[in-house]
A and B are shown apart, each in its own frame.
Chain A
Amino acid sequence: MGQNYLDNGWISILITLAMVFMVLLNIMRAHNVKDLFIRRIAGLNAIDEAVGRATEMGRPVLMVPGLTDTTVNAKTMQAINIFAYVSRVAARFANPILVCCYNASTYTIAQEIIRDVYQQEGLIDRYDVDSVRFISDRQFAFAAGVAGLILREKAAATFFMGEFYAESLILAETANSVGAIQVASSTEMTQTPFFIAACDYVLIGDEFYAASAFLTRHPVLVGSLIGQDWCKLAIAGLIAIGVAANSFQLAGGSHNTTSKAWNEGKFDTLPKPKPFGAGDTTLSRWLNPDPAKDIKIERPQLPPDQIPSGGGN
């Protein structure tokens, strides 16, 4: 549950809204600006090469849109968006594809999107209903299922994108053992090193989210990407300001001790002065919401028949 931003911590919400504004502003701007530059992303350049190689070898392209525990989230959607592009290339080359889904929601959405891609390409006859599969929603049963598919079908190219956990290395090493060209990306920082060690190309961090803009050059996506860059610059600037402001305040001679403490949205006088610490700086107070647990608020009381008497949770 969010904190009460009106009491404290409002600056975090202000920064979030500023970032939302920057992204939306650039999406609007991008419609009027042509030829915006996006730097080369090696992993995405390799998609055509990987699918082409699979076609030459007559072996399928295998894709995994991550293992999200919830129904479907933005990370899964982004992975499926990239796979839509991969499937489009594969459809043109008449190359078989396999999309392995960890949960049923992902399976339904992936199936819809991939079928639409084949339809738009006018190649619906090449679409195999079984190319998008639900494998299992148990982590290692899924890993075993996908590893088995990679070994049996001898996938020539594999794409692992989205949320991955301990199974990442099982998938990547199995694909490596059959000589598949691998492009991977994990939004989990703990798994990215495993992919870097085992895969041919890895999209690191926000390259995963830049992929759609890079592949399609759609103004909305390119604008959004520029907005993201503005946000990153703004955050870098804020970090610099924060370092300077905190250093200045902590080094200031008059602030070596403090006799007041920030508590429940106001200053309390301390029984005796204490050293001025990093938690006492103005920025620290702004950025750390006070949950105000002990505030008692007088509210009108509900009539007795409206007050719960038990049961339920």
Chain B
Amino acid sequence: MIDIAAQLVPKTMWNAPNNSTELWTRIVLALLVGIALFVGLLNAPIQLRKPIIFTVTFVSGLFYVLFWLYPAPINRQPSDGPRNTFEALSFWISDSQGVIADLTNIIASFLIGLGIYSLMRVHIGKIKKQQRDWEFSVVLVSSMVLMVIFGYVDFYMRLQPGNSKMAGSGYVGWTFWQFGKDLLFNGLLQNMDAGMFSIVAFYILSAAYRAFRARSIEATILLLTALVVMLSLMGLVEFYWAQGVDAMHLSNNFKLDNIARWLRGNFQTPAIRGIDFGVGIGLLAMGLRLWLNLDKTGSDA
């Protein structure tokens, strides 16, 4: 019996002893309930769609509201039982969080299939009709198929008894499949990722060139501020600027790094804090509207 089917720490209403009949009964029951729910949702009348969505959203939201707001158990040990009903609820919320998070992941994993379907639809269609740049679609589809094949074969082989050495450093025990997967993932994908990331450096330059032009008073202030902060980060400039400045003299305040620190501490940080408050409150209001089904935007607007 694999361990992942019985998460025993701590013992809760969501798990059961390893390899026990109770555990298997629960797994089968969960599967049946899942199938029943799936079929029920597929066949639900259209007018029931919104109430169902509202109920699921409200109950899920309520759980997380309780999770964050209800007092959490302090220093709970695996052998501890709740002292009263108040604490029993606290224990239940704490135990259930992992299960609820897993449920979310399971639902999300169903959606990956839809995502892949969308990708394949677009690109296989493009290849069939030989539309413009269809060659790129061939590269995408073949890369995906190869990565799936090599990834799964490698994963399966590493799980086999005696193949644990493959996980170590070096290429001990590697076969064609491990080398293939390594070439595709570490040799190509990771490097292409890094290549895309490095482009950001050049784009920063071109964006800065456009942004730092003194077209208005605001743009000029931005330009000067940025100039001071950038110069303060250049060791050589900072060194020569600070020559002859007495640390105990008023002029010490006008060392580049002190000006930059003052700008960051007195203008940048308060501005960011202010914006953060606005974003946080906006998120709170948006979350409330979604939770209580008050949001009449999107397609309802």
Residues of A within 8 A of B (CB): 1-7, 13, 16, 19-20, 23-24, 27, 71, 74-75, 77-78, 80-81, 84-85, 101, 103-105, 107-108, 112-114, 116-117, 120, 129-130, 132-135, 137-141, 143-144, 148, 152, 166-167, 169-170, 172-173, 187, 189, 192, 194, 196-198, 204-206, 208-210, 212, 215-216, 218, 220-221, 224-225, 227-228, 231-232, 235, 292-293, 295-297, 299-302, 306-313
Contact = CB atoms under 8 A, between A and B. Distances in A.
B121 to A, nearest CB: 7
8 contacts: A104-B108, A104-B116, A221-B296, A292-B75, A302-B81, A310-B8, A311-B18, A312-B18
Residue among B3, B125, B203 facing the most chain A CB atoms (10 A cut-off):
B203
B42 interface: no
A75 B281 contact: no
Given A189-B276, A204-B275, A312-B9, A228 B282 contact: yes
Contacts of B115: 101, 103-104, 107, 134, 137
A87 B75 CA distance: 52
Kindly name the residue among B69, B79, B83, B189 whose own CB sees the greatest number of chain A CB atoms within 10 A: B79
A133 B118 contact: yes
Interface of B: 3-4, 6-11, 15, 18, 67-72, 74-83, 87, 94, 104, 107-108, 111-116, 118-119, 121-122, 125, 132-133, 136, 189, 192-193, 196-197, 199-200, 203-204, 206-208, 210-211, 272, 274-279, 281-290, 294-299, 301
Contacts of A113: 298-299
B82 A140 contact: no
B8 A309 contact: yes
Q: Which 10 A-B pairs have the closest CB atoms?
A: A209-B282, A104-B115, A206-B278, A116-B299, A140-B196, A312-B7, A197-B211, A205-B275, A134-B115, A308-B8
B107 A189 contact: no
A187 B279 contact: yes
Contacts of B193: 138-141
Given A74-B290, A84-B299, A205 B75 contact: no
Nearest to B111: A104
B108 A173 contact: no
A144 B18 contact: no
Contact of B80 (A13, A120, A227, A302): A302
Nearest to B98: A313
**B interface SS class:** helix
Contact of B114 (A78, A104, A166): A104
A166 B203 CA distance: 11
Nearest to B117: A134
B191 to A, nearest CB: 11
Nearest to A78: B286
A209 B83 CA distance: 44
Nearest to A188: B279
A170 B6 contact: no
A170 B288 contact: no
A117 B286 CA distance: 21
A27 B136 CA distance: 50
Contacts of A310: 8
B79 A301 contact: yes
Given A103-B111, A104-B113, 19 more contacts: A2-B70, A4-B71, A4-B74, A6-B71, A27-B289, A84-B301, A107-B118, A108-B114, A173-B206, A173-B207, A189-B275, A204-B275, A218-B297, A224-B289, A228-B285, A235-B277, A301-B80, A306-B11, A307-B11
A300 B83 contact: yes
A23 B175 CA distance: 61
B44 to A, nearest CB: 15
Most buried by B among A138, A306, A308: A308
Nearest to A129: B121
Nearest to A81: B297
A107 B110 CA distance: 13
B154 to A, nearest CB: 18
Nearest to B195: A140
Contact of A198 (B11, B15, B210): B210
Nearest to B115: A104
A129 to B, nearest CB: 8
Contacts of B290: 74, 77
Contact of B94 (A1, A209, A235): A1
Contact of B277 (A16, A138, A232, A311): A232
A224 B77 CA distance: 43
Nearest to A300: B81
A311 B20 CA distance: 13
A307 B272 contact: no
Nearest to B204: A169
B78 A307 contact: yes
Contact of B8 (A197, A205, A312): A312
A212 B298 CA distance: 9
Nearest to A110: B298
Contacts of B8: 308-312
Contacts of B206: 173
A297 B75 contact: yes
Nearest to A209: B282
Nearest to A219: B296
Nearest to A27: B294
B107 A71 contact: yes
Given A169-B203, A210-B282, A312 B75 contact: no
